[in-house]
Structure 1
Amino acid sequence: MVIRVVLADDQPLMLQGLDLLLRSEPDVDVVGLAADGDEALRLAHRHVPDVVVLDVRMPRLDGVAATRRVVDELGGPPAAAHAVGVLVLTAYHDDDTVYAALRAGAQGFVVKDAAPAELVAAIRAVAAGDGWLHPAVARRLLAEFARRSPPGAPPPADLAALTPREREVLVAVAHGLSNADVAAHLVVTEATVKTHLGRVLMKLGLRDRAQAVAVAYRAGLVTATSPLPPRS
């Protein structure tokens, strides 16, 4: 599978550098380069890529607003035939930026000082329907969910509609496992995991993986210190 990517960054050197980096990967095809969010959105509509990589701070339409537009207009649950994923790339990893990007529907968040291999891995993960967070960002995010969501918080009413397997998938995803890792842990196929996750999103009225993680923490299904459930 060749992953089609649109890149957006208002710094020409950064944009060209990312382009050169990704063009050296045999499974990545850069189909568009944008200098701002408006242009990124137009290119996303024109090419319908697998992943749009957006810098957070851009003129005309910033990365968070562009993420929201891409997700609303071209996104969808992991089970959709083709949903455009968004990976946010920025020099900043402050909490407000992270939360804003994830609330807007971003599936991944990579800081610009990360190793090139991490960016490539993040793009592959998002293209596969998984999420990706820089480890430092993930730790703060989990801590914040734990602070805001006491274990005894009542679960959403719709949580009862989940099957035992769907609940297992939700818990595993909330622990930060990729679809492939969930499949290995539950001893099912990756396609089965994607199907279960899609049903979880549909039943709970959620838009993406990040919202599913938030619900799991708010419902007390997972805490920052709880262990991963035993393997199936």
Structure 2
Amino acid sequence: MTAANAEARSRVRVALVDEHQLLVEGLAARLSGSRSRIDVVAALTSWEALLAHPEFPVDVVVVEYGLEDGVPFDAKLRSLRAANVPAVALSRHGDGPTVHAAVLAGAQAFVAKNESGDELVAAIHDVAAGREHRSLAVQAALDAYANRADPSLGRQELMALQLYAGGRSVHEVAQHMATTDQTAKSYIKRGRRKYRAAGVDLGTKLLLRRHAIREGWIQPD
């Protein structure tokens, strides 16, 4: 084997999928340096574009965990497993529930967007070699999630959170539970407060909805 062939075989062919064009272009430039031993063969903003790309399957796919395209993350990873392609999940959020959900879906590595480019390079090479990759920050998030306190919600608090996470207004939650708007609002606030004490932030409707999907309370759109 020539030195050129050996070098080619040691490089990892990577596809990037993130909804932000500027981000994938920046990552492609960062990862394609000669020292990284990575060839970015596709930098895309949609999942469908990846599956239709002439270079697919690749060695590793780096895919945004929160890609809002109507395709659940676990379904994306099932497609990759069928093609024998490992995945690195990329996310704006590095909290325990998000990391746990991505790993549970089958991601071999998780890299938060506030981590370094070197961390992403290491994750890509690890999963390309058949190894899982856990940075110190990711492992700490997983450990915190595993050791999280039980929020110990009451039945009414749980029901109110589930209904509210499913898209109902406070008034509609109250109607469904045959109570007043103020009482329904109180159930939701108490439930959020108990989750916050247990280390899970559900302070916005987006965070609540993501948690509801992870817990199976509601189905992704």
Report the TM-score range of the alignment, normalised by the length of the smaller protein. Answer: 0.5 to 0.7
C-alpha change, 1:144 and 1:53, in structure 2 (3 Å) is same
1:7 alignment counterpart: 16
Question: How far apart, in 2, do the equivalents of 1:94 and 1:64 lie?
Answer: 18
C-alpha change, 1:42 and 1:105, in structure 2 (3 Å) is farther
**2:55 pairs with 1:55:** no
2:73–2:105: 8 Å Cα contact kept in structure 1? no
1:37–1:62: 8 Å Cα contact kept in structure 2? no
Question: How far apart, in 2, do the equivalents of 1:21 and 1:63 lie?
Answer: 25
2:96–2:144: 8 Å Cα contact kept in structure 1? no
**2:110 pairs with 1:112:** no
Question: How far apart, in 2, do the equivalents of 1:144 and 1:9 lie?
Answer: 26
Counterpart among 38, 45, 51 of residue 48 in structure 2: 38
Residue type of the alignment partner of 2:106:
G
2:41–2:55: 8 Å Cα contact kept in structure 1? no
Deviations 1:51-90 (A, max 9, x none): 100011223235443223212x123xxxxxxxx1100111
**2:86 pairs with 1:85:** yes
Counterpart among 28, 33, 40 of residue 19 in structure 1: 28
**Aligned pairs (5 A) from 1:121-132:** 121-132=122-133
Task: Return the offset for 1:114.
Answer: 0.9
TM-score, reference length from structure 1 = 0.54
Question: How far apart, in 2, do the equivalents of 1:5 and 1:30 lie?
Answer: 5
Give the superposed CA RMSD: 2.3
Task: Return the offset for 1:129.
Answer: 1.0
Tell me the number of residue pairs that the alignment of Structure 1 and Structure 2 aligns: 138
**Aligned pairs (5 A) from 1:139-178:** 139-145=140-146
Question: Which runs of no fewer than 5 residues in structure 1 stay unpaired?
Answer: 76-83, 149-232
Residue type of the alignment partner of 1:5:
V
1:98 alignment counterpart: 99
2:60–2:128: 8 Å Cα contact kept in structure 1? yes
**Aligned pairs (5 A) from 1:179-198:** none
Partner SS for 1:133: coil
Partner SS for 1:132: coil
Task: Return the offset for 1:117.
Answer: 1.0
Higher relative contact order (CA 8 A, sep 6+): 1
Question: Which runs of no fewer than 5 residues in structure 2 stay unpaired?
Answer: 1-9, 150-221
TM-score, reference length from structure 2 = 0.56
**2:139 pairs with 1:138:** yes
Task: Return the offset for 1:40.
Answer: 2.5
Question: How far apart, in 2, do the equivalents of 1:144 and 1:110 lie?
Answer: 16
Residue type of the alignment partner of 1:24:
G
Task: Return the offset for 1:48.
Answer: 1.8
Question: How far apart, in 2, do the equivalents of 1:102 and 1:139 lie?
Answer: 14
Question: How far apart, in 1, do the equivalents of 2:145 and 2:98 lie?
Answer: 14
Question: How far apart, in 1, do the equivalents of 2:131 and 2:100 lie?
Answer: 18
C-alpha change, 1:25 and 1:111, in structure 2 (3 Å) is farther
Partner SS for 1:41: helix
